[in-house]
Structure 1
Amino acid sequence: MRKYKFFTNFDEEEHWLNDMARQGWRFARKTPFGYEFESAKPENAVIKIDYRSFKKQRDFEDYCALFEDSGWEHIAGTKSTGHQYFKKIGCQGREDIFSDGDSKAGRYKRLSDMWAALACSFVPLLAVLISTGAIDPGVLLDLKALYYTPGLWELSGAGFWRAFLFETPFALFRGVFWLIIPIMIVIYLYFASKANRQYKKSSE
């Protein structure tokens, strides 16, 4: 079963995953747009989340082994996904995967840095596209300039509407598609800011 959800708060995500386990749905893996579950016996699972990525597979394996030695099984996540999911093994594990509040809050700081880095990665691309003339923000003030059909605006009646409707998808692509870049920058900065606020709140 797939569930499409998005969380910016680790505590809320943990609570939801644990509630799904109590309903008989075992968390299998996280996808880019949600979660995958497998039908299982209902259980009072304790799932905790860390946010950490690794450059080397060996470092990732050592990281997972450290948690396993403390009574936590790594159930989802890879060295580069960032989100790492752990499930408490029986009664032998500690009540939390974090030893103190600072280390627990640190996951929000790493998440905030990731979102900010994504936002910054789009800025040079946007600057290059504008400086080379590949995109022209000014066309938003003159939408007619997006239509290349000769004499389009002199046409009338059915001929105009056929030509206009035929070219409109192409015009929108030329004039509006690039707006995805600044929109993504704003969205990533919003998530970075939200994670940073959560980091400060958790650090208090």
Structure 2
Amino acid sequence: MRKCKCFTNLEHEEKWLNDMAGRGWRFVRKSLFSYEFHEAVPEVGRIKIDYRAFVKKEDFEDYRALFEDSGWKHIQGSKSSGYQYFKMVNDQGSEDIFSDADSKAGRYKRLSEMWFSISLSFFPIIVALMSTGTLKPAALLDPEALYLTPGLWEKTGVGFWRAFLFETPFALLRGLSAWLLPLVIMLYLIFAFKANRQYKRSQGEGLSD
């Protein structure tokens, strides 16, 4: 079974995965916003999530071994995926994959930096598209600029409506492309802001403890 979900809070994602395990659905893998589950015997979910990417494979293997020595099996994630999923397989192990509040909060800091870096990476693309005329900022404020048929707005009657209706689907696609990159950048910035806010909140909870 596959389910599509989007989480910006790792605790909420952990709870959902553990609830699915309690209903008899074992988490197998994740790709973007799609989660794959296999039917299994219901069990008490004990899945925890970290966010960490590695340059060297050796460092990634040492990272996995460190958690597995503490009773947590690595069940999903790669050297560069960032999201790392662990499941408790040894009741004698530690209750959490994090040793203290700072390390638990640190995953949100790394997550926020990742989203912010992605949003910044789109700005050179926007500049390049604007410099070549592919992306026209004026089209965002002037819908008529999305229609490229010469003399369209001087036409009248049936001739106007025929040309207008013919080009409207293409104009909508141009408008969508003009809005798409700014919307994607805004979305990633929102993700970065939420992760940073959760980082500060987690730090505060650690201090209060």
TM-score by length of 1: 0.93
Match of 1:169 in 2: 169
Q: Matched residues in 2 for 1:178 and 1:152: separation?
A: 21
Match of 2:3 in 1: 3
Match of 2:71 in 1: 71
Q: Matched residues in 2 for 1:143 and 1:6: separation?
A: 32
Q: 1:152 to 1:190 in 2, by over 3 A?
A: same
Q: What percentage of residue pairs aligned between the two structures are identical?
A: 64
Q: 1:6 to 1:140 in 2, by over 3 A?
A: closer
Q: 1:19 to 1:182 in 2, by over 3 A?
A: same
CA displacement 1:25-82 (0-9 Å, x = unmatched)? 0000112122110000111121000000112222211111111111100011111111
Q: Matched residues in 2 for 1:119 and 1:201: separation?
A: 23
CA displacement at 1:146 relative to structure 2 = 2.6
CA displacement at 1:12 relative to structure 2 = 1.1
CA displacement at 1:198 relative to structure 2 = 0.4
Secondary structure of the 2:107 match is: helix
Alignment of 1:71-150 (within 5 A): 71-150=71-150
Match of 2:207 in 1: none
Task: After superposing the two structures, state which structure 1 stretch, 74-83 or 167-176, moved more.
Answer: 167-176
Name the Cα RMSD after superposition: 1.6
Secondary structure of the 2:78 match is: coil
Unaligned runs of 5+ in 2: 205-209
TM-score by length of 2: 0.91
Match of 1:178 in 2: 178
Aligned length: 204
Unaligned runs of 5+ in 1: none
Q: Matched residues in 2 for 1:77 and 1:183: separation?
A: 28
